[in-house]
Structure 1
Amino acid sequence: MHHPIGQHAQRHPEALAVHETTTGRRLTYRDLWNLAGSLAVRMTDAGVGPGDACGIAMDRGADLVVAMLAVARTGAHYVPLDNGAPSQRSAAQLTDATARAVIGTPGDGTRVQALAPRLPVIEVVRECAGDPLGTSHASGADDALYVNFTSGTSGLPKAVVVPHRAVRRLVDVPAYCAVGLGTRVGNAANPAFDATTFEIWATLSAGGTVVVLPPVAAVGLDGWLDLLRTERVDALFLTTALFHMIAHERPAALGVLDTLLVGGEALTPEAARRVLAAGPPKRLVNVYGPTEATTFATYYDLTPERLDQLDRVPIGHAIQHTTLHVLGPDLLPVPDGERGELCIGGPGVALGYQGRPDLTAERFVTVPGFAELGTLYRTGDVVSRGQEGRLEIFGRLDRQVKVRGFRVELEEIERAAVATGLVEAAVVEKTAEGAAAALVGFVLPVGGDGLEPVVLAGKLHAALAAVLPDYMLPARWSVLDRLPLGPTGKVDRAALLAGDAEAQTPPQAPAGSAGGELPEAGPVPGDVLRLWCEVLDVPDARGDDNFIASGGNSILAIQLSSRISEAASVELGPAEVLLAADLTELIDSVRRSMSGRG
């Protein structure tokens, strides 16, 4: 994957490769190639060579792009870490991937070293003279380029090994998004999320510019959307949850794009119709694909005509160099119109799960009698092939869910909860979709513990926050004295969810009761309270309600801050919503902003 970038560095050395919107830092293709070469020398000196794994512990930015390219040039493969994840989880991923070193940004060595005390920490290069590494390792098509971790049913994340040929297939004249010389592609994904593969490699292999965008929560919704316009972003990938929120709040703002890709969860026709009716991007595309099939496997262009009378958005057709098969339990094709498991073939299929030969054999299969299809990845998604050969998706064969674009195996959370020693059984389920999607948990406490339910829930949340990323933490826990069972003796999950929904329906204690008193009535408290309840979809709220504890997340914080800013004519950022101790403190913050404005 690195050779096309080297060619661009020779043919168009002054072309812009990377631009950081928050710092103004710019790297030409010559800069990028030379910096990556210098870092590759450091890696080689530290003992990293072909076939080795190297962790990358940094946020998105020019340094990240340099690190990814440098690892590829040494013939090693990178392991992108989520800097927002618990350090214990990142450390375990480095161990599972058998990393030989970790790359960090200058000045961040202490934090990175703590993840893997026995591994060398290599600081990324920001200045160099010339190209100290004139050649690059000639990696083979099946040599690994990176390892991405996904949630696992065993309680441990799975390490998906993705080779060079899989990424080449993703970026080779992509049918789902035109990228060429000078195309400006937004980089908005978490480095550990495999959408980064498209944002970085598809852009650089085509001679485009990676436009590094800040988190929406850091600059606010309007500020972030304004960056798309001022930075002249041509193409962008958005998680479905973020797209749904923007479609509701600012549907016309996405019209500045040439191509908008949306994926990660089921897309609602209503959200797509709002954007298409408000001055849409030139091309709006629903994309689908598991990590094991390298980011995207299907695409479907959305137009008003294609969405007419549809209640489900199709995932569409195969992208280039990809085959799609709808198979029954016997792994034989089912007739068009019937439902089966989607199995994906072609060069985009990963090599398997590192250190998990049993799971690799289960999910990466060869169909008897159809060896010419090669290895197929069994997605576990239930689909059917409809009109014009387009695929529609109907759910899962297992208990995997999507939360804000991330794959989550509910069993991983359940096992982690039991492993804390605080509970003897745990059941976790997902409620709602899109920005309002949340995980809820139900537990049986360890016998004789005697902890109050609210104390147990707090201890459990704190224990899990040390080992799981925030998107895998249930918004609330229900402590039960027994789990309801169905006719077969299994846990009745539908009954648990029905009971949870019923418990959330009655109004909470009146505002003004002990500990929950809101400031005196007036237009500002009234607006904030009303918007709080609308965004969190709760019937009422108390002054001492916390946003996160009430089911909030970063996307809902963006939505709430945007609505409050508009209603009260103030500048309120998502961070102020997330950091406010409770609703009363948020209202006080809005009042101070109004006083300062006056």
Structure 2
Amino acid sequence: MSISGLIEQQVLAHPDTVAVHAPGHPGDEVSLTYRELGRAADRLARVLAARGIGRGDLVATSLRPGPRWVTALLAVLRTGAAYVALDPADPLAHRRFVVGDSGARTVLAEKADALDYAGLGAAVVSPQEAGADGEPHRAVPVSGDDPAYVCYTARSGGGSPVGAVVPHRALGELLRPGSAFRPGPDDVVAQAASPASAASAFEIWATLAAGARLTVLSFDTFAGPERLRRALVDHGVTVALLPAARFHRIVRDRPDAFGSLRALLVGGGVCDPHQVRRVLRAGAPRRLLQVYGAAETGAFAL
């Protein structure tokens, strides 16, 4: 089943459960239930479909983390297209390169950022263009070989970044029931990765496919280890994925920062065994996993 189909199952089964929560994100919706997420994605999908976006197309997404961003990604998938992940905080030259190199036909961006993508031959669409509720948008069927998203990563040895195309089949393996990495319906998963990273795909789709809650942590949450520890507890976060460098910085000052978690996944580098032992002594999460491989394969390996 497609990602869109998995989430639609949750919309039908748990319509009033909170799907995305963004504490302290001014200017964005505070939270969306599964019903609200599905309806908002349908509205935006209709806008994209009216512009000719469909199966096999690429849509670049340049939106800040929050419910609006998650809605936009789901809307793209519901049209049968794939999204090209951008982070508005990245340098403009890099973002323009990604849009041009990928051949994206459309860029989803806030109105204030529209000029960033002028002259690239791609239409810029704001999520605010989505109108009022109408008939549900019928999700376009896709195959396992169709691309789900494109993630640009640094090229080994330097040079321009290269786009890794992740098909629905690869992402589906990560989301299948029984996967060691898939959250449960009672989990609250932290969204902490850059919108342009493959890690964000795991955070979003593994969470929503399971009917769990995605809590978007603001950038300043990571200003200090104690601030992060309090945020994890205050928001009831049970699952988090962090890059190894950030994990090491936090553990140096607060090795007990992750003690409230059910599972902590660490990727993007090798864990320092000394720091891991400090976590285990100070009060470890129930599961501490070193993972790798998501950027290129859409799957994690232990």
Q: TM-score, normalised by structure 1?
A: 0.47
Matching residue within 172, 184, 188 for 2:188: 184
Partner of residue 145, structure 1 = 148
1:327-406 mapped onto 2 (5 Å cutoff): none
Contact conserved, 1:151 with 1:158, CA < 8 A, in 2?
Answer: yes
Partner of residue 42, structure 1 = 47
* Closer, same or farther: CA 293–218 of 1 in aligned 2, 3 Å: closer
Counterpart check, 1:69 vs 2:74: yes
Which is worse superposed, 264-273 or 170-179?
170-179
User: How many residues matched?
Assistant: 295
Separation in 1, partners of 2:89, 2:65: 12
Separation in 1, partners of 2:131, 2:31: 15
Contact conserved, 1:34 with 1:128, CA < 8 A, in 2?
Answer: no
Counterpart check, 1:114 vs 2:119: no
1:125 Cα shift? 4.3
Q: Is the partner of 2:283 in helix, strand or coil?
A: coil
* Closer, same or farther: CA 54–116 of 1 in aligned 2, 3 Å: farther
Separation in 2, partners of 1:125, 1:6: 22
Counterpart check, 1:59 vs 2:79: no
* Closer, same or farther: CA 93–48 of 1 in aligned 2, 3 Å: same
Deviation string, structure 1 residues 115-170 (Cα, Å, up to 9, x no partner): 24342221114986545334110111111111111122572211111111110001
Deviation string, structure 1 residues 69-88 (Cα, Å, up to 9, x no partner): 00000001101112222212
Partner of residue 4, structure 1 = 6
Q: Is the partner of 1:99 in helix, strand or coil?
A: coil
Separation in 2, partners of 1:34, 1:131: 9
Separation in 1, partners of 2:17, 2:221: 31
Separation in 2, partners of 1:249, 1:129: 49
Q: Is the partner of 2:105 in helix, strand or coil?
A: strand
* Closer, same or farther: CA 151–157 of 1 in aligned 2, 3 Å: same
Deviation string, structure 1 residues 11-44 (Cα, Å, up to 9, x no partner): 2110110000213701000000000000011111
Separation in 2, partners of 1:10, 1:144: 26
1:91 Cα shift? 0.8
Matching residue within 13, 32, 37 for 1:32: 37
* Closer, same or farther: CA 233–287 of 1 in aligned 2, 3 Å: same
Deviation string, structure 1 residues 173-224 (Cα, Å, up to 9, x no partner): 2543351223111000001111011100000011111110011467543222
1:186-205 mapped onto 2 (5 Å cutoff): 186-205=190-209
User: Which is greater in Rg?
Assistant: 1
Amino acid at match of 1:101: T
Partner of residue 139, structure 2 = 136
Amino acid at match of 1:48: I
Separation in 2, partners of 1:88, 1:33: 34
Matching residue within 74, 94, 105 for 1:89: 94
Separation in 2, partners of 1:42, 1:14: 25
Contact conserved, 2:176 with 2:182, CA < 8 A, in 1?
Answer: no
Contact conserved, 1:185 with 1:208, CA < 8 A, in 2?
Answer: yes
* Closer, same or farther: CA 232–218 of 1 in aligned 2, 3 Å: closer
Matching residue within 3, 20, 23 for 1:21: 23
Partner of residue 176, structure 2 = 172
Partner of residue 85, structure 2 = 80
Separation in 2, partners of 1:77, 1:134: 17
Separation in 1, partners of 2:161, 2:64: 21
Deviation string, structure 1 residues 542-576 (Cα, Å, up to 9, x no partner): xxxxxxxxxxxxxxxxxxxxxxxxxxxxxxxxxxx
Amino acid at match of 1:168: G
Amino acid at match of 1:34: R
Separation in 2, partners of 1:136, 1:17: 19
Contact conserved, 1:47 with 1:100, CA < 8 A, in 2?
Answer: no
Q: Is the partner of 1:252 in helix, strand or coil?
A: coil
Q: Is the partner of 2:250 in helix, strand or coil?
A: helix
Instruction: Output the aligned Cα RMSD.
Output: 1.9
1:483-494 mapped onto 2 (5 Å cutoff): none
* Closer, same or farther: CA 58–16 of 1 in aligned 2, 3 Å: same
Amino acid at match of 1:11: A
Separation in 2, partners of 1:227, 1:131: 38
Counterpart check, 1:293 vs 2:275: no
Identify unmatched segments of 5+ residues in structure 1. 300-598
* Closer, same or farther: CA 174–12 of 1 in aligned 2, 3 Å: same
Separation in 2, partners of 1:80, 1:178: 22
Q: Is the partner of 2:16 in helix, strand or coil?
A: coil
Q: Is the partner of 2:288 in helix, strand or coil?
A: strand
Higher relative contact order (CA 8 A, sep 6+): 2
Partner of residue 102, structure 1 = 107
* Closer, same or farther: CA 8–273 of 1 in aligned 2, 3 Å: same
Q: Is the partner of 1:49 in helix, strand or coil?
A: coil
Q: TM-score, normalised by structure 2?
A: 0.92
